[in-house]
Amino acid sequence: QVQFVESGGGSVQPGGSLRLSCVVSGFTLNNAPMTWVRQPPGKSLEWVSDINSAGDRTYYRDSVKGRFTISRDTGKNTLYLQMDSLKPEDTAVYYCAKARPDRLYSDYERRRSWGQGTQVTVSS
């Protein structure tokens, strides 16, 4: 059974840092591209970052480029998102999942097969 367990969120001031983790079970990370997706309060899911199945290519939405870094540890089967220089607009629940080529994700998919997510709040 595929499971995603996210952790590492919290409340930080603007300019702060957090490192999110996602422990994956049911498949191995070196067999699948992975993604981080977030849902800001009152808004739809939005794609944040991808890493390919080989782990040697990463992709970011424009608003987080240079601030966020996606990575993985295949030995721990864990996906990470290092978030630096955080801004209030980064406030959201963050989820990890298998990546879709179109980078479009639905609430149905989130409720059906994702984890609980981890809350990130950036506020002074």
Query: 17-40 pLDDT, tens per residue?
Result: 999 999 999 999 988 999 999 999
Give the pLDDT of residue 114.
96
Q: What is the DSSP string of 32-58?
A: S-EEEEEE-TTS--EEEEEE-TTS--E
What's the whole-number mean pLDDT along residues 98-122?
A: 95
Q: The tokens of 37 are what?
A: 């997706």
Give the pLDDT of residue 31.
85
Each residue's pLDDT tens digit, 64-102 = 999 999 999 999 999 999 999 999 999 999 999 999 999
Specify the 3-state DSSP secondary structure of 83: strand
Which residue, among 20, 6, 21, has the nearest Cα to 114 in the 3D structure? 6
1-to-27, 31, 41, 44, 56 alpha-carbon distances in Å: 8, 16, 30, 27, 27
Residue 113: DSSP 8-state: H
Which residue, among 105, 35, 111, has the nearest Cα to 70 in the 3D structure? 35
